[in-house]
C-alpha cells in the first residue's frame, strides 16, 4: 500500500513539474507601459539653448539624465530643471515641442531597465524605485527581460490628440509600441501579447488598441491589464494646474514647477473628464465661482493659463468624450480606501496658495469614479470582457510593490497564461 502511495506521489510530482515547465515555456510575452514620470528621460543641449541662469550651463552635445535628476530637489537648480522640461504648444503647426536647444530621448526601449529605478545611481536608486518589485515578481513566475518580458518607456510629457490633430511624439510612440508588440509575439512563437500598464500608460495602450483594426488586435493581443488607470482623469491633475504639485518630494516648491507642469500635454489629458465627473458636484470652489468638470476651459483662464484652453478644447476633449471598448479582454486592478482629493477650496481665490481639500475615496491620486469608469461606460457592451479587482488600502503607486496587490496581479497573469495552456490541451 505504501509503495503504491509512493509511486502515486512521484507521478503527481512529475506531472506538476511537467506542467510548471510547460507553463513557463508557454508564457505569453508581456509588455510593461509605465505611467507619468515612470521611466528615465535623457536630455541634450544644443547651441540654441539659452540658460536662464549661469547655474544652468552644461556642456553642449552630451546626453545627461533629465528625469529623475537631483536638481529638481535643489532650489537653485530647480529652475534649470523647469527650463529643460517645459513644453511649448505651437498653434501654427498645432503640436507641442521641446524648449529651443533641448533634445530629449528615452533609453532602453524594449527593455525594463529604465522602468526599474528613475535614477539608478547608488545614492538615489532605492529612493526612486518604480517597477523593480513588479519586475522581480514577474521574473519569479518565469518571465525574462528581453525574452518574453519587455518595457515601453516614452516621453511622458507628451500625449495624444483627437483625430485631425498632429501629435508627432505621441504618435511615434504608438508606432514603436505596435512594432514592439509584433516583435514580441513573433519571437515567442506567435503567441499574442499581454499589455500591463500603470496609470497614464493605460490611456496610451487603449488608444493603440482602438487605432488598430480588430484583426490586428485578435492576432497580437491576449489581454490588457491596467493598474491604477485614471480613465476619467483625476483631481490631482486639477491641483497641479491650479497651484502646482510638489511630486510628493519634500523641499520642492510647487510654484517653481507649476509652469512646467502646466506645459505638459499629457497633464491636460488627465484633467477630470466631464462625462465621468459630471455637472452636479463642483471640483473647485472659490469665493465667487464653483467649477465643475464642464467648466475646465474657464478654470484654465482663471488660474492664469489661458493658453491651455485651445489645445484642451480641440485636442483633448474630443479624445476623451468617447472611451471606446477595444473588444479584447481587460482587467483593471485598483486601490480603494485611500483618501483622495475630491474638491479644492480656494477661499481667497488665490491659486498661488495651496487649497483646503475635501477628500473622498480612491487610491490617493485617482478618484474612485475615475478608476471604475469603465464599469459604467462599457456596461452592456457586446463582446467586451471587463474584470475589476479592488484592493483595500493600496495606493496609486504602491500597487506596483504592495504584497497583496502583487499577489492579485500574479494570480491574474498566471490565470491568463494558464487559460492558454489548458485550452491548448483541450
Q: Choose between 118 and 16: higher pLDDT.
A: 118
Q: Which three cell numbers stand for residue 123?
A: 545614492
Helix and strand numbers (H, E) in the chain are 17, 15
Question: Interhelix angle for 403-425 vs 132-140, to 10°?
Answer: 40
pLDDT in tens, 186-243: 999 999 999 999 999 999 999 999 999 999 999 999 999 999 999 999 999 999 999 9
Cα separation of 416 and 223, whole Å?
8
> Looking at residues 105-117, what average pLDDT do you find?
97
* Domains in the chain, CATH or no CATH each: 30-232+324-335+362-425 (3.40.50.1820)
Residue 90: beta bridge partners? 95
- Using the predicted structure, report yes or no on whether residue 179 has a pLDDT greater than 90: yes
- Using the predicted structure, report yes or no on whether residue 144 has a pLDDT greater than 70: yes
Residue 420: its pLDDT value, please?
Answer: 52
Residue 384: its pLDDT value, please?
Answer: 98
Q: Taking a C-beta distance cutoff of 8 angstroms, is the pair 71, 77 a contact?
A: yes
**Measured torsion, CA atoms of residues 109, 110, 116, 117, in degrees rounded to the nearest 10:** -10
Residue 120: its pLDDT value, please?
Answer: 93
Residue 129: its pLDDT value, please?
Answer: 96
Cα separation of 85 and 98, whole Å?
8
- Using the predicted structure, report yes or no on whether residue 350 has a pLDDT greater than 70: yes
Reported confidence tier of residue 25, pLDDT bands at 50, 70, 90: low
Q: Which range is least confidently modeled, 67-76, 106-115, 255-264, 409-418?
A: 67-76
- Using the predicted structure, report yes or no on whether residue 149 has a pLDDT greater than 80: yes
Reported confidence tier of residue 424, pLDDT bands at 50, 70, 90: very low
- Using the predicted structure, report yes or no on whether residue 3 has a pLDDT greater than 70: no
3-state secondary structure of 150: strand
Q: Which range is least confidently modeled, 27-31, 333-337, 417-421?
A: 417-421
Work out the end-to-end distance of the chain between its first and last CA atoms, rounded to an integer number of angstroms.
33
Cα separation of 63 and 78, whole Å?
19
Cα separation of 192 and 177, whole Å?
14
User: Could you give the percent of the chain with pLDDT greater than 70?
Assistant: 91
User: Could you give the percent of the chain with pLDDT greater than 90?
Assistant: 82
* Eight-class DSSP state of 316: I
Sign of CA dihedral 254, 255, 260, 261: positive
Residue 175: its pLDDT value, please?
Answer: 98
* Eight-class DSSP state of 146: T
Q: List, in order, residues 6 or more apart from 414 with CB less than 8 Å away.
A: 23, 141
- Using the predicted structure, report yes or no on whether residue 126 has a pLDDT greater than 60: yes
Reported confidence tier of residue 248, pLDDT bands at 50, 70, 90: low
**Measured torsion, CA atoms of residues 349, 352, 354, 356, in degrees rounded to the nearest 10:** 0
- Using the predicted structure, report yes or no on whether residue 286 has a pLDDT greater than 80: yes
> Mean pLDDT over all residues of the chain?
91
Q: Which range is least confidently modeled, 121-130, 148-157, 290-299?
A: 121-130
Which residues are tagged catalytic? Answer: 199, 363, 396
Reported confidence tier of residue 17, pLDDT bands at 50, 70, 90: very low
pLDDT in tens, 364-414: 999 999 999 999 999 999 999 999 999 999 999 999 999 999 999 999 999
Residue 315: its pLDDT value, please?
Answer: 98
Nearest to 225 by CA among 245, 209, 241, 236: 209
Overall residue count recorded for the chain in this entry? 426
> Looking at residues 87-105, what average pLDDT do you find?
97
Cα separation of 270 and 276, whole Å?
12
Amino acid at each position: 500500500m505504501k509503495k503504491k502511495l509512493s509511486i502515486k506521489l512521484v507521478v503527481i510530482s512529475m506531472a506538476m513539474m511537467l506542467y510548471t515547465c510547460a507553463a513557463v515555456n508557454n508564457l505569453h510575452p508581456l509588455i510593461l507601459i509605465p505611467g507619468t514620470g515612470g521611466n528615465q528621460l535623457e536630455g541634450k543641449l544644443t547651441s540654441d539653448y539659452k540658460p536662464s541662469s549661469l547655474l544652468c550651463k552644461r556642456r553642449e552635445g552630451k546626453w545627461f539624465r533629465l528625469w529623475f535628476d537631483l536638481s529638481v530637489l535643489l532650489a537653485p537648480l530647480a529652475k534649470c530643471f523647469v527650463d529643460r522640461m517645459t513644453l511649448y504648444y505651437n498653434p501654427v503647426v498645432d503640436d507641442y515641442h521641446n524648449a529651443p536647444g533641448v533634445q530629449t530621448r528615452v533609453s532602453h526601449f524594449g527593455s525594463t531597465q529604465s522602468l526599474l529605478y528613475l535614477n539608478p545611481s547608488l545614492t538615489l536608486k532605492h529612493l526612486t524605485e518604480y517597477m523593480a518589485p513588479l519586475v522581480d515578481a514577474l521574473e519569479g513566475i518565469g518571465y525574462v527581460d528581453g525574452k518574453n518580458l519587455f518595457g515601453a518607456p516614452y516621453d511622458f510629457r507628451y500625449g495624444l490628440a483627437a483625430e485631425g490633430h498632429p501629435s508627432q511624439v505621441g504618435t511615434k510612440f504608438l508606432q514603436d509600441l505596435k512594432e514592439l508588440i509584433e516583435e514580441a509575439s513573433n519571437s515567442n512563437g506567435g503567441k499574442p501579447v499581454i499589455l500591463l500598464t500603470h496609470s497614464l500608460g493605460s490611456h496610451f495602450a487603449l488608444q493603440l488598441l482602438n487605432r488598430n483594426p480588430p484583426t490586428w488586435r485578435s492576432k497580437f493581443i491576449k489581454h490588457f491589464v491596467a493598474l491604477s488607470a485614471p480613465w476619467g482623469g483625476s483631481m490631482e491633475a486639477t491641483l497641479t494646474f491650479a497651484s502646482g504639485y510638489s511630486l510628493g518630494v519634500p523641499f520642492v516648491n510647487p510654484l517653481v514647477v507649476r509652469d512646467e507642469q502646466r506645459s505638459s500635454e499629457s497633464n491636460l489629458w488627465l484633467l477630470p473628464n466631464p462625462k465621468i465627473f459630471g455637472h452636479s458636484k463642483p471640483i473647485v470652489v472659490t469665493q465667487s465661482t464653483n467649477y465643475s468638470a464642464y467648466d475646465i476651459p474657464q478654470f484654465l483662464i482663471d488660474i492664469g493659463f489661458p493658453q491651455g484652453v485651445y489645445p484642451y478644447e480641440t485636442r483633448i476633449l474630443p479624445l476623451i468624450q468617447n472611451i471606446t471598448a477595444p473588444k479584447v479582454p481587460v482587467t483593471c486592478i485598483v486601490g480603494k480606501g485611500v483618501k483622495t482629493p475630491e474638491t479644492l477650496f480656494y477661499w481667497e481665490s488665490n491659486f498661488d496658495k495651496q487649497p483646503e481639500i475635501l477628500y473622498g475615496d480612491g487610491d490617493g491620486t485617482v478618484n474612485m469614479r475615475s478608476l471604475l469608469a469603465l464599469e459604467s461606460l462599457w456596461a452592456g457592451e457586446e463582446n467586451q470582457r471587463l474584470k475589476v479587482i479592488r484592493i483595500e488600502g493600496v495606493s496609486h503607486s504602491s500597487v506596483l510593490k504592495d504584497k497583496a496587490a502583487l499577489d492579485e496581479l500574479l494570480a491574474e497573469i498566471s490565470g491568463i497564461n494558464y487559460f492558454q495552456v489548458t485550452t491548448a490541451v483541450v
